[in-house]
Amino acid sequence: MKTDYALRNLDVIRKKEQGLYLRLKETRPKEYSFPEYQGLVALLSKEDPSHYNTIVVSGFGEGYHIKELLTRTSEKTFILIVEKDIELFLGVLEKNDLFFLSEKRIGLSVGEEPEYAIKFRIDDHYKVNTISDILGIDYSPACDFYPEYYAKVKKAIEEAAIIASYNLATVVKNSLLWQTQIFQNLPYIVKAPPCSLLFDKFKDLPVIIVSAGPSLDKNVSQLSKAKGKALILCVDTALRTLLNHNITPDIVVILDASEHNFRLYLEGILSPSVRILTSSAVFPETFRQAQGEVFTTGFGHPVMLWIERFIGARGVVKFGGSVSTSAFDFAIRIGANPIIFVGQDLSYPEGKFYTEGVPQAWQEEVKKRVSEMKKMMVPGIEGGEVETTEAMWAWIKWFSFEIGLHKEIRFINATEGGAAIAATEVMKLSCVIDRFCTKEMDIEERFKEAKRSHRPQNLNNLMEGLNSIFIDLKAILYRARYGVSLAERLFSAYKNSDSANTANLLKETGLLYEEIISHQRVLFLAKWSLEKTLFILEKMRSNVNEEERINLLLTFFKEVAEYCDVSIKSIEDARTRLIEQ
């Protein structure tokens, strides 16, 4: 008798992907018989999937090749399945047992745009994608149905790999700074209400995102007419311009971790009337000088994710490359509609770089940087073309992509100059205010309601966690310092062609490496700091030049020792200040 797997499989999908489940309920199945392993065996003769942390499979077929892939990869491997045809997928749900799809390390995209399927799903799994080495597997029998679609998937994989390499370079460079500042900010973070309390608090109300492009000077004075009738959401670089025109925004988004930016844009102007939304890793003086209300957002850093286990989630806001992209995502999460852009030039019209509120010294510095960047021409908001940089072009694409995901929201670009953003309505700010900002909003009451619902967590569990990780770091620091000495002796023996001593030392060094990476809790916290070196070491387990491996092991032990040393000092300081408060 034929078994009907539909109900069980649909229940798996319901728990994993609610949106896909609802779409499947409205779909008629299409039957087709796929060969079991075609394409996978041939591929695995050239590529070993166990060496990859991220695998994208184009084409679901009947899922046999996915089951095989699960047996050939480790628990840490993220497998993203991309399937174009939802009707074929539903047909398979009705005839095969697909319970394996419930595994957490499987991502599933069915009938979605390729760019969304890759970008969103990988970002959703990793929070910040730093895995540039992505294996793409084409299941030919399925790919042959839709060659153009899966060609776009392949291109999206290449773009995701490029973005991941940039992300990796950024997080490796800044990870320890971010972590140090998270611990410095910890006494403030545990007290401040999380930004998640504001989510959906401004449902279907107008929000104006004020950015610091030079066009802001043209219409900033009009914003006073919108005060109290729209939520004025300002990025940090635009704050001084608003205050110069006697306009206090309802909330300012401050996310930059650098002291340089704080001194330029914010020092001395965070008065009691200025409410801020800020990141846990922001430059600490931001918290110290803030006199008004402070809401905190979560941050993808592993240390912050660990801290949130004890104090509760802060709420996630996407980081799309600039503070204005994060402000945009926050506007979506609080339920805004319409969302209105002001000062979002995304270019340098007439040789200007920022609004007049940004210090001239910084404008000159930016001008010099921009002169060295690669330029390109893009459609202008007022017609024709305007010049921009590749970095800003990436932000333009980011906005356009995210806007395309929210058909239910009206997006209006009231920026009076600069680059166009696809899928936005272009409108003068005066017209926007006359049309959409006509009713008084209870803005302050909504913030007060969010703040009243904040319940700070008891800090005993956090203190215990800090004490426990402190002890682990001390032990690993001792082992890592010994590892540095061991690797240096190994390198000397190798250079002196002392083969017997080299073999013994190599074995001892390898065992010490395995011992350190077995400390999963510390390795999770140090993930961003050590990821690049660990990734290279894992990829070079076989067919590797011995001298290169010795050098990498030496680098690894040095990085671990530095990480533990910095972390121990940061935790010690954080514990003291938490006890004092």
295-350 pLDDT, tens digit per residue, is 999 878 899 999 999 999 999 888 766 889 899 999 999 999 999 999 999 887 66
Angle at 388 between CA 385 and CA 389, to 5 degrees: 150
> Phi and psi dihedrals of 432, rounded to 5?
-60, -45
DSSP letter assigned to residue 321: S
In the block, which residue shows the tokens 């890793």? 281
> Phi and psi dihedrals of 53, rounded to 5?
-90, -25
Last residue in a domain, options 422, 452, 482: 452
DSSP letter assigned to residue 281: T
Judged against a pLDDT cut of 60, whether residue 3 lies above it is answered with: no
One domain for residues 443 and 483: no
pLDDT of residue 365: 66
Residue 11 lies in a domain: yes
In the block, which residue shows the tokens 């938490």? 578
Could you tell me if 210 and 235 are in contact, meaning their C-beta atoms sit under 8 angstroms apart?
A: yes
pLDDT of residue 366: 61
Over pLDDT 70: what percentage of the chain? Answer: 90
One domain for residues 410 and 523: no
Judged against a pLDDT cut of 90, whether residue 530 lies above it is answered with: no
Judged against a pLDDT cut of 70, whether residue 156 lies above it is answered with: yes
Could you tell me if 505 and 486 are in contact, meaning their C-beta atoms sit under 8 angstroms apart?
A: yes
CA distance 404 to 331: 15
Judged against a pLDDT cut of 60, whether residue 431 lies above it is answered with: yes
Q: Which of 212, 239, 223, 234 minimizes the C-alpha distance to 344?
A: 212
In the block, which residue shows the tokens 């798996």? 12
Judged against a pLDDT cut of 70, whether residue 289 lies above it is answered with: yes
Q: Which residues of 99-128 are buried (b: 16+ CB within 10 A; e: fewer)?
A: eebeeeebbbbbbbbbbebbbbbbbebbbb
CA distances to 488, 515, 531 from 556, rounded to whole Å, are 12, 13, 10
CA distance 8 to 222: 58
User: How does pLDDT run across 195-211, given as a tens digit for each residue?
Assistant: 999 999 999 999 999 99
Residue 161 lies in a domain: yes
Could you tell me if 321 and 304 are in contact, meaning their C-beta atoms sit under 8 angstroms apart?
A: no
| 18: Cβ contacts below 8 Å, ≥ 6 apart | none
CA distance 488 to 391: 42
Judged against a pLDDT cut of 90, whether residue 243 lies above it is answered with: yes
CA distance 196 to 313: 8
Residue 411's beta-bridge partner residues? 339
One domain for residues 555 and 406: no
Could you tell me if 531 and 174 are in contact, meaning their C-beta atoms sit under 8 angstroms apart?
A: no
Residue 321 lies in a domain: yes
One domain for residues 364 and 489: no
Q: Which helix (H) or strand (E) holds 107?
A: strand 106-110
CA distance 185 to 30: 55
pLDDT of residue 51: 76
Which pLDDT band holds residue 545 (cuts at 50, 70, 90)? confident
Could you give the 3-state DSSP secondary structure of residue 408? coil
Which pLDDT band holds residue 112 (cuts at 50, 70, 90)? confident
Number of structural domains the chain divides into: 3
| 34: Cβ contacts below 8 Å, ≥ 6 apart | 61, 62, 64, 141, 142
How many C-beta atoms surround the C-beta of residue 239 within 10 A? Answer: 25
Could you tell me if 105 and 81 are in contact, meaning their C-beta atoms sit under 8 angstroms apart?
A: no
One domain for residues 222 and 162: no
Angle at 340 between CA 339 and CA 343, to 5 degrees: 140
Judged against a pLDDT cut of 80, whether residue 59 lies above it is answered with: yes
Residue 467 lies in a domain: yes
One domain for residues 402 and 517: no
- Tell me the average pLDDT across 439-443: 93
CATH number (domain holding residue 101): 3.40.50
Pairing of strands 411-413, 425-426: parallel
* 95, 99, 104, 108: CA torsion to nearest 10: 10
| 28: Cβ contacts below 8 Å, ≥ 6 apart | 87, 90
One domain for residues 235 and 344: yes
One domain for residues 145 and 214: no
pTM surpassing 0.85? no
> Phi and psi dihedrals of 497, rounded to 5?
55, 30
Residue 1 lies in a domain: no
CA distance 488 to 559: 14
**Mean of all residue pLDDT scores within the chain:** 87
Residue 276 lies in a domain: yes
One domain for residues 447 and 556: no
CA distances to 66, 233, 313, 413, 538 from 195, rounded to whole Å, are 39, 14, 9, 25, 38
pLDDT of residue 543: 53
Could you tell me if 12 and 4 are in contact, meaning their C-beta atoms sit under 8 angstroms apart?
A: no
pLDDT of residue 362: 59
| 206: Cβ contacts below 8 Å, ≥ 6 apart | 226, 229, 230, 231, 336, 337, 338, 340, 436, 437
Judged against a pLDDT cut of 90, whether residue 390 lies above it is answered with: no
One domain for residues 446 and 464: no
Last residue in a domain, options 168, 203, 236: 168
Last residue in a domain, options 133, 168, 203: 168
One domain for residues 473 and 540: yes
pLDDT of residue 2: 47
Catalogue the E-assigned strands of 414-549. 425-426
Residue 181 lies in a domain: no
Which has more confidence, 572 or 17? 572
CA distance 31 to 425: 43
CA distance 231 to 208: 6
Q: Which of 343, 340, 60 minimizes the C-alpha distance to 214?
A: 343
Task: State how far Cα 189 lies from the chain centre.
Answer: 20
Angle at 524 between CA 522 and CA 525, to 5 degrees: 65
Q: Exposed, middle or buried by CB within 10 Å (0-12, 13-18, 19+), for 498? A: middle
For CA atoms 27, 33, 38, 40, give the dihedral sign. positive
One domain for residues 118 and 195: no
Q: Which domain holds residue 58?
A: 6-168
* 444, 447, 453, 454: CA torsion to nearest 10: -130
| 441: Cβ contacts below 8 Å, ≥ 6 apart | 205, 228, 229, 230, 231
